[in-house]
A and B are shown apart, each in its own frame.
Chain A
Amino acid sequence: MPQRHVIKQISVFVNNEPGRLAKIARMLSEEGIDICAFNIAEASGFGVFRAIVREPDKAYQRLKERGVIVKETEVIAIPMQDRPGGLFEAAAVLGEEGINIEYGYAYSGKAGATFFIRVDDTDSAIKALLDRGMVLMQEGDL
């Protein structure tokens, strides 16, 4: 089932204020939330901090309670250690299906490298990738 392969990601709005990112990182550590992977997208005046954390629902709730603009979104995790060209294959499959990759970022963990991608239609993407016999990670794998 596709749902099992959905990875929850939290995204946090980071405004221009100096030290804002450090503040958010400190909040997460105070709440005892482990960050597995993260990525920062920035534009003039603000940034978006995206992270894969151990307990995304708790992280989302806690940050929200502390007045931070936070959003939970779904990403797909593609293990990279499988074989060379894995990412290309995944991208090609999604392209064929007309699914758009919004952004992606990689991290290297105990189990090797993983690529997280955010697409415009997560369920269809997971289905297409699994149908083509590709391996996707599940929340517990991280």
Chain B
Amino acid sequence: MYWNARMECMPKEELRNLQFRELKTLVYRLYSFNNFYRERMKEHGVHPDDIQTLEDIRKLPFMYKKDLRDHYPTKMFTSSKDEVVRYHVSSGTTGKPTLVGYTENDIEFWTDSLARALTSIGIGTGDVVQVSYGYGLFTGGLGLHYGAERVGATVLPASVGNTERQLELMMDLDVTAIACTPSYMIHMGEVAKRLGIDFRRDTKLRKAILGAEPWSEGMRQHIEENLGIEAYDIYGTSELSGPMFTECEERNGIHVWGDVGIVEIIDPETEEPVPDGEVGELVITVLKKEAMPMIRYRISDLTYALEETCTCGRSSTRIGRISGRTDDMLIIRGINVFPSQVEHTLMNIPEVGEQFMIILDRKGALDTMTVQAELSPEHFSDKMADMMAIKKKIDSDMRKYLNISVNVELMDPGSLPRFEGKAKRVIDKRVF
């Protein structure tokens, strides 16, 4: 079943023509109304008239996350403030958040994209969808909420937390599908087990839409076997509006609707396109976006593209599971953390040196983050209260700036590894 059969199954050539027309319109619009992108194009020596074929997209300059931060809050908007009907905010990497604005049409495009996605995994009227993504500044909750309502499902806006109550509601209301992070899904499974709840026997749950943090095929298998459900990968970021695309029931790549976005996979070093099926950096152009259009946006996610039409009949480009990041951003319990933030925080704490290591692990379903830092000899005290105060200071600063609680380990000076050239300060022991 399709939500929009014409668009989803459009023959490749027709789809490419449509993409070209949309791209051209978008570039002209941006050149005319968006000072930032016009300047960027001028610097790059390219004019909208240079876009003569779809491949000419490669002549256009890239956009980066940094651009959004540099133009915070609304300097990159191409719509007037009156036209903006909603804001979402994603956690910043240097304390500065990224703001995304939506016009009424932007919300509509987003909702429609998710309606197609949910239909492609067989969710629609008759389903009860528990949305256990956070509602609020984060895009996950409201995005899935609108999408699920659009396809005619009944939505249970559970948000995150209070797992026992979530399980109770899941049983009482015959919930058939859930949207949440994979780690929260596992956590729910563990709580259910403790309470003697058997997902197969006691719930009607059959599908889970999981994303917002990296996960693996191994984790999918684990979830499916343990809970007796089908797990689907969902992809998106706030810059693209939010969660936008999912796998279909074939579960062979995430469908990026061709009329919504143009997918490029490039070699992050040479910035040249890589062949179909080969892993590279994902670059997305969102064709339908009014308040904050994104052209050749470098998300930094590593994946591969599949161009051939899917066995489900949908012709759009598919992307594989995100296999990593080109930069070193860490996602811990769904929160973005950069090692540079940790470094920045430690730099302002005189009691420790500038060397540090980050160790990520997983306890049960929860990610744990340990920060090792070297104690400055002059701040060593034989009094435990003083020592605990140092640990507490680091912990509270991390919480304040990274929005995450960490385990702090004080180390001897010189005991942490030193690096020549590019430092590798992260040890990720998590098994996905």
Q: Is the CB of A118 within 8 A of B383?
A: yes
Interface: A108 (CB within 8 A): no
Determine the chain A residues whose CB is within 8 A of the CB of B387 once the complex forms: 43, 46, 48
The verdict on A141 contacting chain B, using a C-beta distance below 8 Å, is no
Is A15 part of the binding interface, using a Cβ–Cβ cutoff of 8 Å? yes
CB distance from A44 to the nearest CB of B (A): 8
Q: Which of B380, B385, B391, B409 meets A69, CB within 8 Å?
A: B380
Contact indicator B382/A11 (Cβ below 8 Å): yes
A46 and B352 CA atoms in complex are apart in Å by 14
Are A45 and B412 in contact, with the CB atoms below 8 A?
Answer: no
B-contact 0/1 string along A93-113, CB 8 Å cutoff: 000000000110000000000
Given contacts A43-B391, A45-B409, A45-B410, contact A17 B415 (CB under 8 A): yes
Q: Cβ of A67 and Cβ of B409 under 8 Å apart?
A: no
Other-chain contact of B412, A13, A43, A50, A73 (Cβ < 8 Å): A13
**Complex Cα–Cα for A16 and B384 (A):** 15
The interface bits of chain A over 5-42 (1 if a CB of B lies within 8 angstroms of the residue's CB, else 0) are 00001010101110010000000000000000000010
Q: Does A68 contact B (CB under 8 A)?
A: yes
B411 on the A face (CB < 8 A): yes
State whether B391 touches A50 (Cβ < 8 A): no
Contacts A9-B382, A11-B382, A69-B412; A45 near B391 (Cβ below 8 A): yes
Q: Is A132 an interface residue (CB 8 A)?
A: no
Bound-state Cα–Cα, A118 to B410, Å: 23
A45–B380 touching, CB < 8 Å = no
* Interface footprint category on A: 20 to 34
Interface size on B, residues (CB 8 A): 20
In the complex with contacts A43-B388, A45-B391, A48-B387, A71-B412 CB distance below 8 A: no
The answer to whether B384 and A48 have CB atoms under 8 Å apart is yes
Quick check: A15 and B382 within 8 Å, CB to CB?
A: no
Asked if B80 is an interface residue, CB under 8 A from chain A, the answer is no
- Residues in A with CB closer than 8 Å to B384 are 41, 43, 48, 103
A1 to B233, CA, bound (A): 77
Q: Are B410 and A73 in contact (CB-based, < 8 A)?
A: no
Q: Which residues 370-415 of B sit at the A interface, judged by CB distance below 8 A?
A: 375, 377, 380-385, 387-388, 391, 407-415
Chain A residues within 8 Å of B407, by CB: 45
User: CA–CA, A46 to B383, complex, Å?
Assistant: 13
Q: Which of B375, B382, B410 has the most CB of A within 10 A?
A: B382
Q: In the complex, which residues of chain B have a beta carbon less than 8 angstroms from the beta carbon of A13?
A: 375, 380, 410, 412
Residues of A near B388 (CB, < 8 A) are 43
- Which A residues touch B414, using CB under 8 A? 67
Chain B contacts to A: CB under 8 angstroms = 375, 377, 380-385, 387-388, 391, 407-415
Q: What are 9 sample pairs from A and B whose C-beta atoms fall under 8 A apart? A: A11-B380, A13-B380, A15-B410, A15-B412, A48-B381, A69-B375, A71-B380, A103-B383, A118-B383
Closest 8 interchain pairs by CB? A11-B382, A69-B380, A45-B409, A69-B377, A41-B384, A46-B410, A15-B411, A13-B380
